[in-house]
Structures are given as C-alpha cells and as structure tokens.
Homo-oligomer: A and B are copies of this chain.
Amino acid sequence: MDKQHSQCSPCPVELTVNMIGGKYKLVILYQLAIHEVRRFNELRRELPNITPRTLTRQLRELESDGLINRQVYPEIPPKVEYSLSETGKSLNSILLQIENWGLKHITNNPK
C-alpha cells in the first residue's frame, strides 16, 4: 500500500465510516444493491428484528447523506420505495467485497 499519505486530515476512511457506520446501514445498502428497490416492510422483514423506529432513522440518515432515494407514492394504502442513489451505487463493489470477505472469513468458522 502507499505510504505517502500517512496523515489524514480529515481521514477519508473516518469520513466514510461516519456515513456508513450505523449498525444496519451497510446491510440496508446491501439489500438495496441486491434488490434494486425495496419497500419499508420488505426491508423490515429482511433485517433481523430491526424495529421500525430504528429502520426509519437509518433510512433517513442514508437519505440525508445522499446514498439512497426515497420515492413516495401518494396512494392509499401508502407505498414508499427505497433505492440506491448514484452515490449509493458507487458503493456496490465495496458491498460485494465485504460480503465475500464475510463468507470467506466468518461463516466458515461461526463463533
């Protein structure tokens, strides 16, 4: 690895972690990467025991950081679709690598 920029001010890794560091954020992004479009309760079912309050907040944070889009359909019953923004999509290869890393290094020897 390059040894030039040992200093980070501010550290780009840290800045990125601040955006995607929530407990469920990467998993949400991962689900959206796989499914392209997901509704609120679909995500809820796919995330292990997440509460609606937490899911809402993580989605709002991802949205305000510009990583996902929130499309509201003015219908009854309500319909809201979440999807990756262009910026969010630029995380796809990282998401995939994280998934593969987990498959290789963790699920092989489950704790």
Contacts and interface: CB of A to CB of B under 8 A. Distances in A.
Query: Which 9 pairs between the two chains have the least Cβ-Cβ distance?
Result: A12-B102, A16-B102, A15-B106, A13-B30, A12-B103, A15-B102, A12-B99, A16-B98, A94-B97
Interface in A32-90: 33-35, 46, 48, 87, 90
A11 B110 CA distance: 12
Interface in A90-111: 90-107
Interface residues of A, number: 47
Given A94-B94, A94-B98, A14 B1 contact: no
Nearest to A25: B17
Contacts of A93: 97
